[in-house]
Amino acid sequence: MTHPKIEVRIDHPDGQLLGTVTFQPTTGLQDFTTATVPLPKTSGAHDLYLVFKSGGIYLDTVALSGNS
């Protein structure tokens, strides 16, 4: 069984892959889960793409944080 996942890419939907978040199945639409993925540091300005690799994912919030 393949679990739903979201790829985090920069500059283009087929651009450099920074990380992948894989989700475990839940029991329903109101059964929320939190997922995190560490991303490598990048320099400069980039467009960020979240590429949904399968159905069944409903996204509520995306939060990015950085360490100096």
Q: What is the pLDDT of residues 39-49, one digit of tens each?
A: 999 899 999 99
Q: Which helix (H) or strand (E) holds 51?
A: strand 48-52
Query: What is the spatial distance between Cα 50 and Cα 53, in angstroms, rounded to a whole number?
Result: 9
Token output for 68:
């100096």
**Structure pTM?**
0.82
Find residue 12's DSSP bridge partners. none
Domain assignment of residue 10, yes or no: yes
Residue 61 lies in a domain: no
Q: Is 58 part of a structural domain of the chain? A: no
pLDDT at 1: 62
| Sequence-distant contacts of 26-34: CB under 8 A, at least 24 apart | 29/58, 32/60
Asked whether residue 39 is assigned to any structural domain, the reply reads yes
Residue 68 lies in a domain: no
In a domain, 60, yes or no: no
Predicted confidence (pLDDT) at residue 31 exceeds the cutoff of 90: no
Domain span holding position 24: 5-52
Number of structural domains (the chain) is 1
